[in-house]
Amino acid sequence: MSGAVDPWHDDPHLGEIVVAEDVLDKRVAELGDELTADYEGRPPLLVGVLKGAFVFMSDLARAIKLPVEIDVMAVASYGSATTTSGVVRIVKDLDSDLTGRHVLVVEDIVDSGLTLSYLRRSLLAREPASLEVCALLVKEGQQPVKLDLRYVGFHVPPDFVVGYGLDVAERYRNLPDVRVYKGPVTVG
Ligand code: IMP
Ligand code: MG
């Protein structure tokens, strides 16, 4: 870390490291290799779910040794900052036409899975050639329905976590690792 002091070292709201930086790097490289093999001859369109997935997608895209294309969408779920109501709204839609494309949805974290099941239904209606999901984190024991997650980075305990793209009220997205958040949760 180039001699600089970790700007978060004395933040009382940050708890233990759930996934360390080197562990993230290694797993993203592995996922990249797996995706490179699986999608050989049919380069995928990566669909990043903003904002949380932006760090993961940036690293993952460079770990896939294929001519991928990138698009993003943003969804908002009604509910508080730490719970999802299941009612999801597309805030920013894709620029790309998905018809006949091999779509790989890139998600930061799956908690209840409600956001993802809504997204999957909505994207499948656009008739892609295939649709798979790559989620960096999946919270253990939280999903009421079985989700078909083809690619998963890590299964993590059901704590609220921040870093590597994940936020609380827009903060901590630039933490290089994933940590437990112990502070008050602001709705936003
Ligand atoms: P789900 O619909 O309950 O699966 O919630 C998924 C979305 O909620 C994720 O894409 C995140 O944006 C957000 N989320 C869920 N858990 C966390 C967390 O621990 N930290 C930060 N964001 C989270
Ligand atoms: Mg979010």
pTM of the prediction? 0.92
Ordered by start, the domain boundaries in the chain are 22-77+85-157
Q: Among 72, 146, 166, 187, say which to mutate for ligand 1: greatest number of ligand atoms within 8 Å of CB.
A: 166
Average pLDDT of the chain, as a whole number = 91
- The per-residue pLDDT for 188 is 46
Pair of tokens at residue 157:
């305990």
- The per-residue pLDDT for 1 is 52
C-alpha 167 – ligand 1 centre gap (Å): 9
Please name which of 55, 168, 153, 54 lies closest in space to residue 110, comparing C-alpha atoms. Answer: 153
Query: How far apart, in whole angstroms, are the C-alpha atoms of residue 102 and residue 92?
Result: 20
The percentage of the chain sitting over the pLDDT mark of 70, rounded to a whole number, equals 91
> Alpha helices of the chain — where are they, by DSSP H?
21-38, 54-63, 114-124
pLDDT digits (tens, 9 = 90+) for 161-180: 999 999 999 999 999 999 99
CATH of region 22-77+85-157: 3.40.50.2020
pLDDT digits (tens, 9 = 90+) for 4-16: 777 888 899 999 9
Residues carrying an active site annotation: 111
User: Residues with Cβ within 6 A of ligand 1?
Assistant: 52, 77, 84, 107-116, 160-162, 166
26-30, 62-66, 87-91, 164-168: which range is least confident on average?
87-91
